[in-house]
Amino acid sequence: MSRRQQVLYIAAAWCLSYPDEELIGRVPLMRAGLAEFPGAVQDFDGVLDLLESSEPMDIQAYYVREFDLGRRHALHLSYWTDGDTRRRGEVLGSFKKTYRQSDILVDTHGELPDYLPMVLEYAALVDMDAGRDLLIRYRASLEMLRFGLLRDDLPHARILQAVCGTLPGKSPADEQAVMRMAGYGPPTEAVGLDPYDPRLLPVKGA
């Protein structure tokens, strides 16, 4: 297991999670861990600076606004490929199956199993190979999230860039290239959403 990848994944998992007081208290730990590796902390500085300089209630409200209230920055990997379709249930089952195959009980804390911070933490602390396989399988989701964060000028985009940089191959140049790479279009049979709702996918399929 690469120590650099392990530290990067756990720091990314924490930086993309809800910033409660415990997480805010981990900022010095993240800085110290990332500082062990040349160039690693730069991709995290924007988010770490926010966590250090903001009032807890302000940074929490910011997180809820950007990650919980809308779907522009959805942190659930299968959302980007399957939206709110019936097929998504099968996909979520495959995440659970991966977790069950490990020797360590994975507590989802009420989150869906494709929640990116959970996948990153699983890779860092439980099974690097299986966790990386999930990230590789959902590389297109990571890239679409990265583009969404870039478009809205969120510092978390550089963290996604760092995560993608640990995976095989170069990142696609734009969102249309991601769609072509993944070979999928907008989900159908949407449950509870208008099938033409632009929140389903930020780019319509070819």
pLDDT at 106: 60
pLDDT at 96: 84
Give the torsion sign (CA, 159, 163, 169, 175): negative
Is residue 197 a contact partner of residue 190, using CB atoms and an 8 Å limit? yes
Place of tokens 């120590």: 3
Is residue 86 a contact partner of residue 189, using CB atoms and an 8 Å limit? yes
Both tokens of 164, joined, read 């993608």
Among candidates 69, 53, 56, which has minimal Cα distance to 155?
A: 53
User: Under 8 Å CB-to-CB from 66, ≥6 apart: which residues?
Assistant: 73, 152, 154
User: Under 8 Å CB-to-CB from 124, ≥6 apart: which residues?
Assistant: 5, 6, 7, 9, 10, 13, 131
pLDDT at 52: 94
pTM of the model: 0.81
pLDDT at 189: 39
pLDDT at 162: 95
Q: Is 154 helix (H, G, I), strand (E, B) or coil?
A: coil
Is residue 17 a contact partner of residue 60, using CB atoms and an 8 Å limit? no
| pLDDT tens over the chain, length 206 residues | 589 999 999 999 999 999 999 999 999 999 999 999 999 999 999 999 999 999 999 999 999 999 988 788 989 998 887 766 667 777 888 888 888 887 665 666 677 889 999 999 999 999 999 999 999 988 888 988 998 899 999 999 999 999 999 988 766 655 666 666 555 544 443 333 333 333 333 333 32
Q: Is 1 helix (H, G, I), strand (E, B) or coil?
A: coil
